Amino acid sequence: MDHLLNKRVKDIQISGIRKFYNMVSNYKDAISLTIGQPDFPTPDHIKDAAKLALDNNKTVYTHNAGIIELRKAISNYYKKYNLEYNPEDEIIVTNGASEAIYIALNTILEKDCEVILPAPVYPGYEPVIKLLEAKPVYVDTTKNDFKITAELIKPHLTDKTRCIIIPSPSNPTGVMLNKNELLEIAKLLKDKDIFILSDEIYSELSYDFEHTSIASFKEVFDKTIVINGLSKSHSMTGFRIGYVLSPSYISKEMIKVHQYINSCACSISQYAALEALTNGLLDCNIMKEEYKKRRDFVYKKLIKMGLDTVKPNGAFYIFPSIKKFNINSLEFAVKLLETQKVAVIPGDAFSPLGEGYIRISYASSIEILKKGLEKIQKFLEGLS
């Protein structure tokens, strides 16, 4: 019966991130600098809110779009980015940001249309695009410090372009776009029938300048879909709470896709998220300061090793080049794991344009990072 399975599903691959993360489990005592999992515990008051929700029997279906109290809290939260979204019909609470991406792309894409992506890029977009029989179009950002710009986008625009995805801060590079760079993209797209998917899941983890949402520019507000969630900002990955913000004419269509695959996000998690976005707005600050110290520490060490590295502005990833060693990224990562018991993600997991790089997650303590980097240096000395 294998031949009857959906060919588009068979043609997509398990994420290279997860594939390598799972490989690490076979190596006892390996230092894993792979997955984007914050190493901070979920704040106690958020866990207490989840327990209270259980005790109060908040265990039933909620409104498809999420409890209104949480949608109001999300609306208030996004005002700091100079944005106003109506909690009644412009906000949908989802099962993580991954579901938010899925329902957004399902709502706006059709067969044979094109989606522009900055590359290297998070591998969660391309499979959804291909499942919908649309075409991913990669913009090479490697010669521009991993920044997508209006100038780089322009040559890739066609009459089939339906959407541009802008992840800022970016996974895997940690690079983010500043206000002026985003404004130039907004100006380019303002008169074009092209949607913008702005993935802002790392918005709270910005170190060198404030996060700007491209949706805050009136020129493109009506065509922008914003993705965010609580996984990274409040270390709530397992709670699976994301959300999607968009003008009501888009949201009213997205809610249909959402309700038929998920009904609603977990009720208990929604009450925990409500606590996070009302009484936990400063929770991220401690994590953010620690990530910034780690960013600086890792960046200095990599530069000292002689690796060409773009300093990230946000998230908790860094993406050094290994091109000088004339070894592909998968072979590099496998040999590093086998010989030094240190795991990183090969760059080709982030599109073909990620080849020649590795992704290191610094969502680990300085002590662990120090040990891991010392082993990486030893490995590099063996290659040289």
pLDDT in tens, 28-87: 889 999 988 999 999 999 999 999 999 999 999 999 999 999 999 999 999 999 999 999
Among the listed residues 236, 250, 159, the one whose alpha carbon sits nearest the alpha carbon of residue 196: 250
- Mean pLDDT, contiguous 10-residue spans, the chain (384 residues): 83 72 79 91 98 98 98 98 98 98 98 98 96 98 98 98 98 98 98 98 97 97 98 97 98 98 96 98 96 98 97 98 96 94 95 97 97 97 86
Assigned CATH class of 2-42+283-383: alpha beta
Alpha helix segments (H runs only) across the chain: 7-11, 16-24, 44-55, 68-77, 96-108, 126-131, 150-153, 179-189, 248-262, 267-279, 283-304, 329-340, 366-383
In this prediction, residue 25 carries a pLDDT of 74
Nearest to 356 by CA among 370, 366, 364, 346: 346
- CB distance 248 to 262 below 8 Å: no
Residues in the chain: 384
Q: Which residues, in sequence order, are CB contacts of 57 under 8 Å at separation 6+?
A: none
Phi, psi at 169, each rounded to 5°:
-60, 155
Burial of 275 (0-12, 13-18, 19+ CB in 10 A): buried
Bridge partner residues of 243 (DSSP): 93, 228
Domains of the chain, by residue range, sit at 2-42+283-383, 56-279
pTM (2 d.p.):
0.95
pLDDT for residue 24: 76
Residue 320 is predicted with a pLDDT of 98
Q: Residue 195 and residue 245: Cα distance in Å, rounded?
A: 13
Euclidean distance between CA atoms 91 and 147, whole angstroms: 29
Using only C-alpha atoms, the chain has a radius of gyration, in whole angstroms, of 21
Q: Are 123 and 16 in contact (CB under 8 A)?
A: yes
Question: What's the pLDDT score for residue 163?
Answer: 98
For residues 139 and 135, what is the distance between their CA atoms, to the nearest angstrom?
13
- The confidence score (pLDDT) of residue 21 equals 72
CATH, range 56-279: 3.40.640.10
pLDDT of residue 22: 76
Q: Each residue of 233-264: pLDDT tens digit?
A: 999 999 999 999 999 999 999 999 999 999 99
